[in-house]
Amino acid sequence: MSAIQQQTLQVNGIQLSVHIAGREDGQPVWLLHGFPECWHSWREQIPALVAQGYRVFAPEMRGYGQSSAPAAIADYDLLTLCADIQGAMDLFGHHQVVMVGHDWGAVVAWHLALLEPERVTRLVTMSVPFAGRARRPVIEIMRERYADRFNYILYFQEPGVAEQELDADIGRTLRLFMGDQDLFLQKKPATAKLLEGVVAPGKLPNWCSPQDFEMYVQAFASNGFRGPLNWYRNFERNWQRTEFLAGKQVLQPTLFLIGDRDPVGVFEAHTLKRMPEVVPHLQQAAVVNCGHWIQSEQAAKVNELLLEFLGRT
């Protein structure tokens, strides 16, 4: 991997750890990771971008790794998460950037595109689509739809419950998330736990070496899953605070990638269909033989699509 420097910024009331690589005069590209991942999930994209002359910024998002993990749930609402990156861009003097995000990082990236229409010049999102602000909080819809059956997002809502299960054995938890089992599509009672009855795979997936896996484990070693889970506990607050964005379109040239075996495609089928209405300059591509961890599972294909998109005039 290309030489990477780590900097800790004082921004938006927290410490934000950012990993940086590439020539100082290169166009800034921000890489925002999702749940439950870390900046190292971009390990295949960083050298590819640096080789093309870009300057790469891969933060450890609020609640992860060496970045601050505040205790309050409200400290993880969407506009606050966006403000972390906006403040970091201010400190670095960034006027025009490419924003790339996966999973929850994609949610932040979508909203940064809306909040910063001049500064975010191109947008690349992976796995989580966007079709504008919902008419009511998504968590209300989920509670109606999954009143009598398990849903992992509803399971994450009660403070202290999911983190107790996930923190009990961080290595096992991450192996289960990375495995091929459809954790998020399990059919079981609403009172069940996420990991109960699931057997951890005996080996890591071929896209994650033991050394890479240790980087993921370290991202949760100090603060566990509480901070990352708090991202899920702000759906209603996010909806309330983003009222001023209702009806706005994402007008930047946008590339959206999703794996053909990603369970998000099942959950968000309606959003995927509606996305072109809200994102008029959208290029959408499915990456075959791929689950949710798209930039790791199919790194070469993702890099090809990413660099081709960024190279357009």
pLDDT tens sequence across 182-233: 788 888 999 999 998 888 888 999 999 999 999 999 999 999 999 999 999 9
Alpha-carbon distance of 61 to 228, in angstroms, equals 9
pLDDT digits (tens, 9 = 90+) for 233-292: 999 999 999 999 999 999 999 999 999 999 998 889 999 999 999 999 999 988 889 999
- Note whether 113 and 99 are within 8 A (CB): yes
pLDDT class of 48 with cuts at 50, 70, 90: very high
What percent of the chain stands above pLDDT 90?
90
Residue 27 in this model has a pLDDT that exceeds 70: yes
Alpha-carbon distance of 245 to 256, in angstroms, equals 21
Residues 30-57 have a mean pLDDT of 98
pLDDT class of 150 with cuts at 50, 70, 90: very high
Alpha-carbon distance of 117 to 252, in angstroms, equals 7
Q: What is the pLDDT of residue 182?
A: 77
Taking Cα atoms as reference points, which of 150, 134, 164 lies closest to residue 235?
134
Alpha-carbon distance of 89 to 97, in angstroms, equals 9
Helix axis angle, 104-115 to 78-92, nearest 10°:
70
pLDDT digits (tens, 9 = 90+) for 164-186: 999 999 999 999 999 866 788 88
* Average pLDDT, rounded, for the chain: 95
Burial class (CB in 10 A: 0-12, 13-18, 19+), 46: buried
Q: Report all structural domains of the chain as residue ranges with CATH numbers, in order of start.
A: 5-310 (3.40.50.1820)
Structural element, H or E, at residue 109: helix 104-115
Backbone angles phi, psi at 32, to 5 degrees: -105, 115
Helix axis angle, 170-178 to 210-221, nearest 10°:
120
Q: Extract the tokens encoding 90.
A: 């201010």
Helix (H, G, I), strand (E, B) or coil at 156: coil
| DSSP label of 200 | P
Q: What is the pLDDT of residue 197?
A: 84
Look at 18-22, 121-125, 234-238, 269-273 and tell me which has the smallest mean pLDDT: 269-273
E strands present in 40-178 = 55-60, 97-102, 120-126
Q: Extract the tokens encoding 3.
A: 């030489």
What residues act catalytically?
103, 292
Within 10 angstroms of residue 134's Cβ, the number of other Cβ atoms is 16
- Note whether 128 and 35 are within 8 A (CB): no
What percent of the chain stands above pLDDT 70?
98
| Exposure of 10 in the CB half-sphere (CA atoms within 13 A) | 0
Alpha-carbon distance of 257 to 53, in angstroms, equals 23
Q: Extract the tokens encoding 276.
A: 């072109």
